[in-house]
Amino acid sequence: MTVNTNASDVFNADIGRDVDEMINAVKAAIDANDKVDKIKDMMNQAAYSGVSAQENLQTWLEAAQKEADYANDNLQKLYDSYIGNFDEYLSDVNLAITTVGSKGDRLELTETRMSNQQLTVKTLKIKIMRIVNFPISSLIIQQLTLLIRHLYRRQEC
Task: Decide if 1 is inside a domain.
Answer: no
**What element of type H or E holds 112?**
helix 51-132
pLDDT tens, residue by residue, 82-105: 999 999 999 999 998 888 888 888
How many structural domains compose the chain? 1
| Centroid of chain to Cα 7 | 7
Give CA angle at 82 (77, 87), nearest 5°: 145
| Residue 109 lies in domain | 7-156
Closest by CA to 75, choosing from 32, 33, 28, 36, is: 28
How far is Cα 85 from Cα 12, in angstroms, rounded to an integer? 12
Task: Decide if 2 is inside a domain.
Answer: no
pLDDT of residue 106: 86
- State the 10-residue block means of pLDDT for the chain, 157 residues long: 78 89 95 95 89 92 96 94 91 89 86 81 73 67 80 72
